[in-house]
A = this chain, B = another copy of it.
């Protein structure tokens, strides 16, 4: 998931970018409207975090241009002004959400997740967890766009974990979903799949946690 942050305040920009990076997103920063425009033309981002109050070309202008190119990238507007007209204006221009300054990082993350889920993921029929995206239609998994090769079993287990994000899943439950009621697998087999999945995902910062005595857990990405 690539996010473009458009923010002129250096301090705020750094905090935001760092926090999003830590959560596993690939983040770029634009400090002016024009810079934002060229970056948007070039790179393919999955979302834009847009501060309205920019020197020179302001945020609304960036948004207007973006929408002219008919892209449907979700845009989250950040602004210090709160009056209703202002907000409505932004949404009419095609923004998807609106957040008031100052904001808490947790809120930023929540809104980011919601937007990505609503737009990018649902359009693509995909599941995600931080930088990890699992495209169900295309049967492909990737982290930050870099594809991950998975065998069928690994794929199934991962999808199951993603469908139960934040929940501990029992090994028996995994076995049930894997074999269509015919074979039965040893519990150890699941451990092996998890081990193999980990060897592919750990290096990308995706951690499958073990909950001793219960099963496994894929945590929702946190701030």
Interface residues of A (CB under 8 A from B): 68, 88, 92-93, 98, 110-111, 114, 118, 122, 125, 136-140, 151-152, 166-168, 173, 176, 180-181, 211-215, 217
CB distance from A54 to the nearest CB of B (A): 21
B137 touches A167 (CB 8 A): yes
Q: How far is the CA of A217 from the CA of B137 in the complex (A)?
A: 12
Which residues on B sit within 8 Å (CB–CB) of A68?
122
Among candidates B93, B118, B180, B217, residue contacting A173 with C-beta atoms closer than 8 Å? B118
B92 touches A152 (CB 8 A): no
Q: How far is the CA of A181 from the CA of B112 in the complex (A)?
A: 13
Which residues on B sit within 8 Å (CB–CB) of A125?
92-93
Nearest B residue (CB) for A139 = B168
A214 touches B118 (CB 8 A): no
When all copies of this chain in the complex are counted, the total is 2
Assuming the contacts A114-B176, A151-B212, A176-B114, asked whether A166 and B138 have C-beta atoms less than 8 A apart, the reply is yes
Which residues on B sit within 8 Å (CB–CB) of A167?
137-140
CB distance from A159 to the nearest CB of B (A): 9
Nearest B residue (CB) for A126 = B92
Among candidates B92, B98, B213, residue contacting A137 with C-beta atoms closer than 8 Å? B92
B92 touches A138 (CB 8 A): no
CB distance from A207 to the nearest CB of B (A): 14
Nearest B residue (CB) for A136 = B92
CB distance from A109 to the nearest CB of B (A): 13
Nearest B residue (CB) for A138 = B167
